[in-house]
Amino acid sequence: MFKQTLKLTFVCAATICVLALHSHFNAAEAEYGDVVMNEFSDAAGMRPVVFPHWFHRIRFRCKVCHGDLGFAFKAGGNNISMLNIIDGKYCGACHDGDVAWSIENCDLCHSGVPNTPTQVHHSTAQTLMTPIEDKGEAESSPSESDN
């Protein structure tokens, strides 16, 4: 009987160990080059937009968006609104249900943590201008950097 208890305890403990370690390693950080855009989102009651550069550059060369579509090389520097997008400008040039999925999938773009300021995640300027914080604090208070 005692042996059985011991066995069960070990199984239980091992499961909890795995879960605890998993939750620890899940406290990760966003991808280099991810752009958070929060020019209008918070005020409109939407989550800020997270634009994954890495995903898009696998499919398009920089020139397509930054040349043909006129995106300036600056986070928050394009005055992108849903009106622009439904008129086929900026994101709307592809996210039209033809080249890429259409704008009714609000939550695929508007997926950021509310109140995250506009920024390029992990940019050198952001890293240098943001003091190193305690990991727990860093998660709850996103950087104020504007780059």
Partner 1 sequence: MAMHKSKFFQAAVMVACSVFLAITIMQRAAADKDPNAFNRLLRPVAERNAPPDSDGIHDPAGYGTALLQAPRDAFGVMPKSVSGNYVNWSRAISEEIINPRYVISNPDANAIVLDLNIVREVKGSMPDVVYPHKQHTEWLDCANCHPAIFIPQKGANQISMAAIIMGEKCGVCHGSVAFPITECRRCHSRSKEAVQP
Beta bridge partners of 120: 35
Using CA atoms, how far apart are residues 43 and 40, in angstroms rounded to an integer? 6
Q: Among residues 17 and 86, whose Cβ is nearest to partner 1?
A: 17
What residues does 37 pair with on adjacent strands? 49
Residue 37 binds partner 1 (CB under 8 A): no
Residues 103 and 40: beta-carbon distance below 8 Å:
no
Q: Does 86 bind partner 1 (CB under 8 A)?
A: no
Q: Does the footprint of partner 1 cover residue 89 (CB under 8 A)?
A: no
79 lies in the site for partner 1, by CB under 8 A: no
Query: Site for partner 1 (CB under 8 A): how many residues?
Result: 69
In terms of C-beta distances under 8 Å and separation of at least 24 residues, what long-range contacts does 66-73 make, across chains too? 68/93, 69/93
14 contacts 81 by C-beta, under 8 angstroms: no
Q: Which listed residue (45, 58, 104, 131) binds partner 1 by CB under 8 A? A: 58
Residues 143 and 131: beta-carbon distance below 8 Å: no
Q: Which of 39, 42, 64, 81 binds partner 1 (CB under 8 A)?
A: 64
Note the residues at the interface with partner 1 (CB under 8 A). Answer: 1, 4-5, 8-9, 12-13, 16-17, 19-21, 24-34, 36, 47, 50, 52-55, 57-64, 66-68, 73, 93-94, 99, 105-114, 116, 120-125, 128, 132, 134-135, 139, 142, 147
